[in-house]
Amino acid sequence: MANYEDKIVCSLVEDERVVVYVASSTSLVEEARVLHHTSPVATAALGRALTLTGIMGAALKEGQRVTLHINCRGPLGAILVQANSRGEVRGYVSQPLVFVPPREDKKLNVEEAVGKGSQLSVVKDLGLGEPYAGYIEMPRGSIAYDLAYYFALSEQLPSACSAGVYVGETGEVLSAGGFIIHTPAGTPPQIIEKIEDNISLLPPLSSLLWEGKTPEEITGALLSPLPYRIVGEKKLCYHCYCSRERARRTLMLLGREELEELLAEEGRAEVSCPFCNRVYLFGDRELRELIEQGSNRRFDS
C-alpha cells in the first residue's frame, strides 16, 4: 500500500559534496489532478513537474521561489509550476484533457505529450533583484531526464533526476515521487559510479512508493553502501496563494478603457486563477471603484 505522507528528505554523502533529495508526492499530485481534471497522461506530466519543482524549491532559502515552465511542442501546450522554500507547490497544464496513445510497454507516453524539442525554462527568484533564468531545448520531453540536462548545461551542476506517477484505472493517483541527486565537480568518480549503478538497479520510483517504501528507504537504496546522513526533512503540499486582492490588482492592470468597457458590456468582471481554478467576481460597484481609483492614480494606457 502507498505511503501518503508527502515530504522531501535531504541527505549528504561522505564529504558533503553530493546532495540527495528524495520526495514522496502522492497527495500533492492527486490534489492537482482533482483541481484541474487532468487526463491520465496530463496527470503524469504535471505530477512529474510538480514533484521535481517542489524539490528544487526545498533547496532554496526562506522567501525564495522557483518557476518551471515548459513550452511543449506536444499536445499538452504548456506546463507551469511554482514552488517555494516552504515546500508549497502549485501548477497547471494548459491542455489538461489531452490523450495520446500509450507506449508499446503500455505506460503513459509523457514524452509524446510534452514533445521532443520543447523549451524548458527555470526561473529562480532569490530576492536579489533580477531573477536568475536558464533555458534549454528538451532532448527527450521526459521532464526528469531533461531537467538533469538543464542542470548540467545551465548551472554546470551534474545531476541525476527521476520522477514517477502511478495512475490508476479510473485516473486517480496511486503513488508519485521523485529524486534529484547533485554530483558537483570534484565528486570522486567511484561515488558517481556507485550511485549510477544503484539507480540502474532501482525499480520504478512510483512502484516503490506504491509498495509503501518511504523516502528514507529509497535514499538508502540509492546510496548503498556509501556513508551518508539525512540532514533535513520538509513537508510537501499543493498550495495556491491567490487572493481577492491579487485578483483586484490584476484587474487594475487592464487599464481604464478595458475596465469601462467591461462595466458597460457586462456590468461585472471575473478573474480566475489558473493554478487552483478559483474564480473571483467583481460587481458593478466594485468596477466603478476600481475605475475611480485608477483615475486618481493615472492608469497606464
The domain that holds 73 is classified in CATH as 3.55.30.10
Residues 160, 250 within the same domain: no
Model pLDDT, residue 129: 76
Residues 6 or more apart in contact with residue 102 via CB below 8 angstroms: 108, 109
Residue 46 pLDDT > 70, yes or no? yes
For the stretch 155-212, pLDDT in tens is 999 999 999 999 999 999 999 999 999 999 999 999 999 999 999 999 999 999 999 9
How many CB atoms neighbour CB 123 within 10 A?
Answer: 15
> What strands lie across the sheet with 78-84, from one edge to the other?
132-137, 119-125, 65-71, 78-84, 88-93, 237-238
Better-scored residue on pLDDT, 266 or 271: 271
Average pLDDT, the chain: 91
Residues 176, 285 within the same domain: no
Q: Which residues pair with 69 in a beta bridge?
A: 80, 121
**Structure-block grid coordinates of residue 146:** 531533461
Q: Give phi and psi for 105, each to the nearest 5.
A: -85, 10
Asked whether residue 140 is assigned to any structural domain, the reply reads yes
Residues 253, 231 within the same domain: no
Residues 228, 283 within the same domain: no
> How many whole angstroms separate alpha carbon 296 and alpha carbon 128?
32
Residues 143, 258 within the same domain: no
At 298, the pLDDT band (50, 70, 90 cuts) reads: very low
Residues 288, 213 within the same domain: no
Global pTM exceeds 0.85:
yes
Angle between helices 215-223 and 189-201 (to 10 degrees): 120
Query: How many residues in the chain?
Result: 301
Determine the structural domain holding residue 88 and report its residue range.
7-238
Residues 149, 256 within the same domain: no
Asked whether residue 1 is assigned to any structural domain, the reply reads no
- Host H or E run for residue 56: helix 40-58
Asked whether residue 182 is assigned to any structural domain, the reply reads yes
Number of domains in the chain: 2
Residues 6 or more apart in contact with residue 201 via CB below 8 angstroms: none
Residues 43, 185 within the same domain: yes
Coil, strand, or helix at residue 262?
helix
Asked whether residue 38 is assigned to any structural domain, the reply reads yes
Task: Name the domain boundary from 219, 238, 257.
Answer: 238
Task: Name the domain boundary from 223, 238, 253.
Answer: 238
> How many whole angstroms separate alpha carbon 259 and alpha carbon 290?
8
Residues 145, 84 within the same domain: yes
Asked whether residue 92 is assigned to any structural domain, the reply reads yes
Residues 57, 166 within the same domain: yes
Note whether 198 and 222 are within 8 A (CB): yes
Asked whether residue 2 is assigned to any structural domain, the reply reads no
For the stretch 103-161, pLDDT in tens is 988 899 999 999 999 999 999 998 777 888 999 999 999 999 999 999 999 999 999 99
Rounded to 5°, the CA angle 1-176-212 comes to 25
Residues 103, 251 within the same domain: no
Task: Kindly list the distances between the CA atom of residue 17 and the CA atoms of 68, 87, 239, in Å, as whole numbers in the listed order.
Answer: 25, 23, 31
Model pLDDT, residue 4: 61
Report CA 272 to chain centroid distance, whole Å: 20
Between the CA atoms of 106, 108, 112 and 116, what dihedral angle is there, to the nearest 10 degrees? -110
Asked whether residue 18 is assigned to any structural domain, the reply reads yes
